[in-house]
Amino acid sequence: MSLLKVSNLEVAFDSPDAVVRAVNGVSFDLEEGSTLGIVGESGSGKSQSVLAMLGLLATNGRAKGSAIYQGENLLSMPAKKLNRIRGNRLSMIFQDPMTSLNPYLTIERQMTEVLELHKNMTRRAAKKRSIEMLEAVRIPEAAHRIDQYPHELSGGMRQRVMIAMALLCEPQVLFADEPTTALDVTVQAQILQLLRNLQHDFGTAIVLITHDLGVVAGLCEQVMVMYGGRVMEQCNADNLFARPSHPYTIGLLRALPRLDQSDAPLVGIPGNPPNMAHPPSGCPFQERCIDASQRCAESVPPLESFGGDTTWLRACNRPVEQMKSLHEVAHV
């Protein structure tokens, strides 16, 4: 049985002009100790899907569908009950470590609070445990650092504090929203290594939200590619990189400058991302897709299993054999 089963998740925001449908029909199963990557560009709905599951949507946001964790739906759970789970069994690392740590409180207060609340530990025991966790994420002089304030730490160190904080209760699922985007590459390498080791040691399942396909390649088994609030393609990482089947995935991979290949010209995807307050009709990608036909503007292509493989899903009207994206390049 899967650890977390998300079915048909929808997120909508009420705004004065329109209802913004940020996420439409996201489903996935997360197994114990596995890693799911959610890839997409800004506004694709990747962060909102995860925030919805943890009840962290903005006040004008509404979530529909279900996210079943231990037989109960997180989306309809009262806050009181959710508070016992989030930060404890399910925890999250945010993108920007400076704005997600409280600048008024020392690292010690922010960390011990978690243990006092969820584990009923004494402050002293909680501090001891917190120091151990800071050491686990390789913060030098942890016993001294714990009494400092967030502004006294570097960006990479703050991100490590966030990770340590998220791991204090040894969660079953760790949601990481662009955990390395704000960091330099050498620090990113340290953090990714750390996540890999922690997953190995604690058996934590990770949902990694990122726009960086390189990070996905190194860490994830399953990948979900999102665009305009919908899932475009969902499959295991090997297939995604070796045999992408959706025009958007193909476009994304071609647009990526790479170190491991010679300098083939980059191919941008023409056009601009959709305005989610007024999304295009039908498939959200159709306006930028060279494979789009009349049908794509009329109806949203369903997310269907592909090639007889039930774990490989794609949402595209055009059969893979007939896709132009594989051979042709749109002029940008």
Partner 1 sequence: MSEQTILSVRDVQVHFNVKAKSKLPWARSRTLKAVDGVSFDLKAGETLGVVGESGCGKSTLSRAILNLIPATHGEIVWMGKDLSGATTKQWHSVRRDIQMIFQDPLASLDPRMTVGQIIAEPLREHRPGMSKDEMNQRVRAMMAKVGLREQMINRYAHEFSGGQCQRIGIARALIVEPKLIVCDEPVSALDVSIQAQIVNLLKSLQQEMKLALIFIAHDLAVVKHISDRVMVMYLGHVMELADKHSLYARPRHPYTRALLSAVPVPNPAIERTKVVQILSSDIPSPINPPTGCVFHTRCPIAEARCSVEVPPLRTLEHGVAAACLLA
- Interacting residues with partner 1 (CB under 8 A): 41-42, 140, 154-157, 184-190, 192-193, 211-218, 237-238, 241, 251-260, 263, 265-270, 272-273, 288, 332
Residues 6+ apart with CB under 8 A from 271: 287, 288
138/155 Cα distance (integer angstroms): 14
Nearest distance in Å: CB 154, partner 1 = 5
Nearer to partner 1, 91 or 180 (CB): 180
Q: Are 26 and 17 in contact (CB under 8 A)?
A: no
The number of angstroms, rounded, from the C-alpha of 231 to the middle of its chain's C-alpha atoms is 13
**Residue 249 corresponds to which tokens in the numbers above?**
């995935």
Nearer to partner 1, 46 or 129 (CB): 46
Nearest distance in Å: CB 107, partner 1 = 16
Nearer to partner 1, 72 or 96 (CB): 96
Nearer to partner 1, 182 or 320 (CB): 182
Nearest distance in Å: CB 86, partner 1 = 29
Nearer to partner 1, 1 or 259 (CB): 259
| Closest CA relative to residue 244, chosen from 329, 328, 332, 325 | 325
Nearest distance in Å: CB 240, partner 1 = 8
Nearer to partner 1, 97 or 251 (CB): 251
Q: Three-state DSSP class for 198? A: helix
Nearest distance in Å: CB 272, partner 1 = 5
Nearest distance in Å: CB 1, partner 1 = 27
Q: Which amino acid is residue 203, in one-letter code?
A: G
Nearer to partner 1, 6 or 191 (CB): 191
DSSP per-residue letters across 302-325: P-EEETTEEEEEE--SS-GGG-ST
Q: Are 86 and 75 in contact (CB under 8 A)?
A: no
Placement of tokens 């039930």 in the chain? 310
- Please calculate the CA angle 214-173-44 and round it to the nearest 5 degrees: 50
DSSP per-residue letters across 13-75: EE-SS-EEEEEEEEEEEE-TT-EEEEE--TTSSHHHHHHHHTT---TTEEEEEEEEETTEEGG
Nearest distance in Å: CB 29, partner 1 = 20
